[in-house]
């Protein structure tokens, strides 16, 4: 199943001053960064506890183009669609057996035009699936896929994150700010992050859980915005203290000079691909002059592990006995409550004739 592996955010921005925020800039990895292999096996990075779960393949359960995967309480929720967005969410059990799906594309009552993002939440004995569709937030019952309620906004919603206090952080379009905080009734509580360019693209998982915050990466730069839902505070930070990494200001300058052709100019830069935080470890992928690296930072030991995974790798893949580590690229799609989730896919060019992907999890 061939597809574009990287749905990377490539937009630049300036930080607005109208919101409550921390004045300091935090640095997650305050260590010297050297992009070169320093491990001999995947087990040194991920450990030796993993599970490979093929997703059942049938006419009803064909995933097609993968947009996002969420695992909650042993159940996999897979958003499938095309490059323009999601069309349905398929549900599989812990063994990969197909259970059901939300598939209500249309313009009628309880239907949606597309799915920009989704989340899964328990609520009083039932499981709810929340989606954003253009200017709406829609909530469905996962038992029968009936619409519970919806909220309409005066702007487009591209991505969202729901917090335990029932507030929602929205990545918005067609508004002055890129981030909007609302309550469970849709009332706007705060806005943040003035847009500097009229160009937005999205990661499958846009808001990255990190300790007691979520991180919002600023494009492919070394910078991010953080939000602490308990303190109701926004902040700024950097992933690595390294002057060689592409900064948000440099990314903005590239866009100003090259317009929508600026991704071509990234080829000789060092920039961030993907971010995950699991089991007190920060996982970062970096692009460096055409090479791709995985870097893992351990909070406790303050150690850094690194390996190149594309275009070639010297670290063997203990799962299939090759040196192909391309599955690391698929970390961008996964959001799990108890694992580091990736995807291993078929290599066929015919999307209609190949099995569904398999979910790879490290514990």
Q: Does 21 map to a domain? A: no
Q: State the burial class of residue 352 (Cβ atoms within 10 Å of its Cβ: 0-12, 13-18, 19+).
A: exposed
Burial class (CB in 10 A: 0-12, 13-18, 19+), 49: exposed
* Residue 257 to residue 24: CA distance in whole angstroms: 29
Task: Answer whether residue 65 is part of any domain.
Answer: yes
Strand order, beta sheet including 156-162: 156-162, 168-173, 177-182, 188-194
The values of phi and psi at residue 254, to 5°, are -60, -40
* Separation in Å, CA 114 to CA 82, 106, 206, 219: 10, 8, 17, 23
CATH code for position 38: 2.40.128.630
Nearest to 274 by CA among 289, 287, 255, 291: 287
Domain that holds residue 323: 26-345+355-362
Number of Cβ within 10 Å of residue 245's Cβ equals 20
CA distance 109 to 99: 24
Q: Is position 16 within any domain?
A: no
**Global confidence as pTM:** 0.89
Q: How far apart are CA 320 and CA 142, in angstroms?
A: 35
Parallel, antiparallel, or unpaired: how do β-strands 65-72 and 334-336 relate? parallel
Structural domain contains residue 4: no
Is residue 14 one of the residues assigned to a domain?
A: no
The whole-angstrom distance between residue 240's C-alpha and the CA centroid of its chain comes to 19
Structure tokens at 340: 């580091």
> How many domains does the structure of the chain reveal?
1
Reading the chain (363 residues) residue by residue, the pLDDT tens digits are 444 433 333 333 333 333 344 445 689 998 878 888 999 988 999 998 999 999 999 999 999 899 999 999 999 999 999 877 899 999 999 999 999 999 999 999 999 999 999 999 999 899 999 999 999 999 999 999 999 999 999 999 999 999 999 999 999 877 788 899 999 889 999 999 877 553 356 789 999 999 989 999 999 999 999 999 999 999 999 999 877 899 988 998 998 999 888 889 999 899 999 999 999 999 999 999 889 999 999 988 889 999 999 998 888 887 776 678 889 999 999 999 999 999 987 654 454 556 899 999 999
Q: Are 8 and 361 in contact (CB under 8 A)?
A: no
17 within a domain of the structure (yes/no) = no
Strand order in the sheet with 358-362: 50-54, 358-362, 340-344
The candidate with the shortest Cα–Cα distance to 149, out of 181, 107, 186, is: 186
Strands 168-173 and 156-162 turn out to be antiparallel
226 with 355: CB under 8 angstroms? no
Q: What does the alpha-carbon distance between residue 203 and residue 158 come to, in Å, rounded to a whole number?
A: 10
DSSP 8-state secondary structure symbol assigned to residue 251: H
Please check whether residue 350 lies inside any domain of the structure: no
What does the alpha-carbon distance between residue 90 and residue 100 come to, in Å, rounded to a whole number? 6
Residue 20 within a domain: no
Q: In what order do the strands lie in the sheet with 223-228?
A: 21-29, 233-240, 223-228, 213-217, 208-210
- If DSSP codes are grouped into helix, strand and coil, which group holds residue 261? helix
- 319, two tokens: 């799962």
Beta carbons of 217 and 224 less than 8 angstroms apart: yes
């Amino acid at each position: 199943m061939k597809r574009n592996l990287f749905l990377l955010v490539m937009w630049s921005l300036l930080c607005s001053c109208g919101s409550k925020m921390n004045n300091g800039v935090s640095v997650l990895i305050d260590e010297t960064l050297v992009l070169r292999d320093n491990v001999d096996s995947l087990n040194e990075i991920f450990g030796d506890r993993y599970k490979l779960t093929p997703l059942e393949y049938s006419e009803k359960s064909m995933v097609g183009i993968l947009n996002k995967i969420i695992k909650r309480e042993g159940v996999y929720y897979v958003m499938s669609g095309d490059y323009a967005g999601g069309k349905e969410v398929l549900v599989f059990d812990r063994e990969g057996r197909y259970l059901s799906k939300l598939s209500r594309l249309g313009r009628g009552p309880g239907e949606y035009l597309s799915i920009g993002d989704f989340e899964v939440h328990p609520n009083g004995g039932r499981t709810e699936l929340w989606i954003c569709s253009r200017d709406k937030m829609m909530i469905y019952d996962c038992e029968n896929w009936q619409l519970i309620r919806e909220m309409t906004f005066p702007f487009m919603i591209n991505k969202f994150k729901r917090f335990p206090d029932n507030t929602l952080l929205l990545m918005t379009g067609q508004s002055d700010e890129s981030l909007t905080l609302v309550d469970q009734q849709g009332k706007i509580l705060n806005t943040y992050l003035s847009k500097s360019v009229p160009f937005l693209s999205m990661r499958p998982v846009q808001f990255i859980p990190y300790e007691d915050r979520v991180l919002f990466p600023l494009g492919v730069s070394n910078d991010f915005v953080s939000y602490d839902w308990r303190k109701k505070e926004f902040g700024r930070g950097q992933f690595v203290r390294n002057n060689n990494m592409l900064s948000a200001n440099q990314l903005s300058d590239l866009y100003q000079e090259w317009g929508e052709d600026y991704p071509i100019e990234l080829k000789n830069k060092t920039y961030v691909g993907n971010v995950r935080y699991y089991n007190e470890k920060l996982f970062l992928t970096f692009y460096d002059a055409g090479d791709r690296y995985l870097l893992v930072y351990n909070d406790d030991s303050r150690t850094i592990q690194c390996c190149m995974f594309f275009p070639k790798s010297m670290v063997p893949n203990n799962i299939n006995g090759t040196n192909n580590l391309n599955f690391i690229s698929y970390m961008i799609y996964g959001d799990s409550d108890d694992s580091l989730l990736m995807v291993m896919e078929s290599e066929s060019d015919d999307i209609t004739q190949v099995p569904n992907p398999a979910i790879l999890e490290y514990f």
